[in-house]
Structure 1
Amino acid sequence: MAEIMTLTEAVAGLVQDGDSVALEGFTHLIPFAAGHEIIRQGRTDLTLIRMTPDLIYDRMIGAGCASKLVFSWGGNPGVGSLHRMRDAHGHDWPVPLTLEEHSHAGMVNRYTAGAAGLPFGVLRGYAGTDLPEHTDTVRTVNCPFTGEQLAAVKALNPDVAIVHAQRADRAGNVQLWGITGVQKEAVLAARRSLVTVEEVVDTLAPVPGAVLLPSFAVTAVAVAPGGAKPSYAHGYYDRDNAAYQAWDLVSRDRERFSAWLKELVAP
């Protein structure tokens, strides 16, 4: 059953050096507050997993938290590159970064297989690409019914999945709505999970299209108002487009980034 605790307590108890950690959220409900707390607590040697790494992973990579990134697209949405990711992968600063690249469909199938307790997922994909030659989590299988050759992708079972949601009740049941991406699958696939929320309420009123994560499927819930900023939380606040644009200038320069990082971790 989910335990409601502070964000500091949750990260300290759930995220350890060397873990594989998935912070999911597709343009919406991105768990920035949790990522910043991981930076503050000085976690290192993490394998970061995310379909679309953007600013939060650029920051975590620049802070030296990660040794590997598993992903299917990376960038500052609508702005440009992730300069801290490029610096780590290309120049080993602040530490070397290994990349494992997939397609979006491949990542979704990996999460789905992990959530279902299966060893791998199957899809029509990767044909005509050289990704399987460089990625040992992609293989081919022949359909036992038609003989068709298909791609097989190894299931993803992160040590920790972290997502942000609009609200939870006092029993730890979580409700999120809007663009929900693969948050549900990531939580169900993970060995441990943390959900940060805008608020805890007495009753989860029905919302059209909402996803419900039951308390028994979640390890911890932490209240973090504004925890998705500068991304947005449907029904709570809008995306801060200026922050995404500003990050491009901060992240381009090591000294400027280091000053930003020092301010983030300052007591």
Structure 2
Amino acid sequence: MKFFLITFFSLSVFFVNAQNGSIKGTVKDQDNQPLIGATITLNQDRGTLVDVDGNFKFSNLGEGSYNLEVSFLGFESQTKKINLKEGEIFAIDFTLEESEESLQEVEIIGRKARTYKNSTTFAATKTATKIKDVPQAVSYVTKEVIADQQAYRVNDIIKNISGVNTFSYYDDFSMRGFRSGDTYINGLRVVGLFGPQPLLANIERVEVIKGPASAMFGNSVPGGVMNRVTKKPLREDRKSINFTLGSFNTLRTTADFTGAINESETLVYRLNLAY
């Protein structure tokens, strides 16, 4: 029994010593400034983030070969191979260069359907994605609902979305009890739209991501974020003028013109007017 305990203790000490290697280093830009929050991946199964001083560290590593990858938004990624010896503390530094990448393509998709149902959303992924494939809670109001309800402004149609209410007379809403932040237009974040209630003459549909997941796409508002999808230009020549008259001094005029500009129909336009 005494021999067994001594053997077990010796094996435990050997195992601990075999795993006491580490890799540490810094990640900075070309101006020698730390890239706070840069992602460090070790063999694609372990990861960490760079701290406020630009440092990172992986501990309890055994002897062997490791691939260290560093990535940060707006900078070119770097990968280095490290051969770590038993018990070694390996120091390595990264200097990332800024990347020149063009912005992603913006998709604007119209709908041929004439029902109240919509199957595509821009809000959750910034691309045209099927709502059934999006894990977030997405509500919407289509142009058919807007037309049948004779809605004039965005504030007139939010009554169709549960949990969303008008916060003030301006372009200002509350979502699940939290005041709304920035707004999306066609999946792109737009800052500083606070002002009069926008008209719906050029709006295809309105989408709302509800709940804390919206903080990943908006201004960190846990209640939700709103996305407005504009109407898409068409190759067919279409022209429409509408007049609306009613009580309470209601007078509204809208015009919608779309079509191809050149004969090959490679250049199209859409003009929406409202008064």
**TM-score, with length taken from structure 2:** 0.20
Kindly indicate which of the two structures has a greater share of residues assigned to strand: 2
Kindly indicate which of the two structures has a greater share of residues assigned to helix: 1
Q: Identify which of structures 1 and 2 has the higher relative contact order when contacts are C-alpha pairs closer than 8 Å and 6+ apart.
A: 1
**TM-score, with length taken from structure 1:** 0.21
